[in-house]
């Protein structure tokens, strides 16, 4: 990967995918009562992850609502990010 712009785009997408995965894992840990959501660190981390992901999730939910209580927006977002990343790499 010689192009610095390509490297930057791929790195930003990778970081955002990690944020999405962390958001999903934290929501599971809170749902299964493994971590205390009232702990200050968990609250701050949850707020950061929610602020980073919720605007994109909301747009996806407008098109594809939760199915049987299962929110598919993180999965759809990860697939879309992977597609964008591979397309950018292919084009450059």
Domain count within the chain: 1
Amino acid 10: pLDDT: 96
Measured distance CA(83)–CA(17) in Å, rounded: 12
To 10 degrees, the CA torsion angle through 51, 14, 5, 2? 170
Find the domain containing 57 and state its range.
4-91
Amino acid 23: pLDDT: 98
* Full-model pTM: 0.93
Amino acid 48: pLDDT: 98
Instruction: Give the count of beta carbons closer than 10 Å to the beta carbon of residue 9.
Output: 16
The rounded average pLDDT for each run of 10 residues, N- to C-terminus, in the chain (92 residues) is 88 98 97 96 98 98 94 97 96 87
DSSP for 15-61, written as a single string: HHHHHHHHHHHHHHHHHTTSS-TTSHHHHHHHHHHHHHHHHHHHHHH
């Amino acid at each position: 990967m010689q192009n610095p712009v390509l490297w930057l785009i791929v790195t930003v997408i990778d970081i955002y995918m990690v944020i999405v995965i962390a958001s999903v894992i934290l929501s599971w840990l809170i749902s299964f009562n493994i971590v205390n959501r009232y702990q200050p660190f968990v609250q701050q981390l949850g707020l950061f992850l929610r602020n980073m992901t919720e605007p994109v999730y909301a747009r996806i939910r407008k098109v594809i609502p939760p199915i049987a209580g299962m929110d598919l927006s993180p999965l759809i977002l990860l697939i879309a990010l992977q597609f964008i990343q591979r397309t950018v790499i292919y084009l450059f």
